[in-house]
């Protein structure tokens, strides 16, 4: 026997979403998307800060290596900026080659006497732009240079 099923049984049996349910779902999706966009913006900011720290750490390490490899440093302060690989650094202005990512960073190196004739305390600081008194360095570390090189 063939059974015939009517297309509509009654108005109460129909399925679907009411306008109120759709509005609530859209509101929930809107709040979720705004939260995700905020997290994405924060993530981009953290990536930029991480890149600054990485570049500054590399530049500080390079400056420290140059200091240790050069002649015994004289007491005093030096500062300057970094230029890209395609530029010739001006020693008179304290420019150093740092690469394309280093353009815009500045450096400062303080050499102090330790009270011992053969030792100097060196502080290297890297700034994310021109060095100013109100802006702290991104990277700063101290090390000691011994006259005549490492033991």
- Sheet bearing 106-113, strands edge to edge: 96-97, 76-83, 106-113, 119-127, 139-146
Domain residues for 43?
A: 19-146
Q: How many independent structural domains does the chain possess?
A: 1
Q: Poorest-confidence range of 2-6, 28-32, 93-97, 141-145?
A: 2-6
Does the pTM exceed 0.75? no
Report if residue 45 sits inside a domain.
Answer: yes
Is residue 150 pLDDT above 60, yes or no? no
3 in any annotated domain: no
* Average confidence (pLDDT) over 97-109: 86
Distance of CA 37 to CAs 27, 85, 109, Å?
15, 37, 41
Residue-by-residue DSSP string for 81-114: EEE-TTS---GGGT-EE--GGGTT-EEEEEEEE-
Per-residue pLDDT tens digits for 79-93: 988 888 878 777 777
Residue 151 counted as domain residue: no
User: 35 in a domain, yes or no?
Assistant: yes
């Amino acid at each position: 026997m063939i059974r015939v099923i009517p297309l509509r049984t009654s108005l109460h049996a129909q399925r679907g979403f009411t306008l109120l349910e759709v509005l609530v779902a859209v509101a929930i999706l809107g709040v979720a998307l705004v939260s995700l966009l905020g997290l994405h913006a924060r993530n981009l900011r953290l990536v930029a800060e991480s890149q600054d720290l990485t570049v500054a750490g590399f530049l500080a390490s390079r400056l420290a290596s140059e200091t240790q490899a050069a002649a015994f440093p004289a007491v005093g302060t030096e500062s300057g900026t970094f230029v890209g690989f395609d530029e010739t650094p001006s020693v008179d202005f304290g420019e150093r080659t740092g690469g394309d990512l280093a353009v815009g960073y500045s450096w400062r190196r303080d050499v102090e006497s330790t009270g011992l004739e053969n030792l100097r305390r060196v502080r290297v600081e890297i700034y994310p732009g021109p060095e100013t008194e109100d802006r702290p360095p991104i990277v700063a570390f101290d090390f000691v240079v011994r006259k005549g090189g490492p033991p």
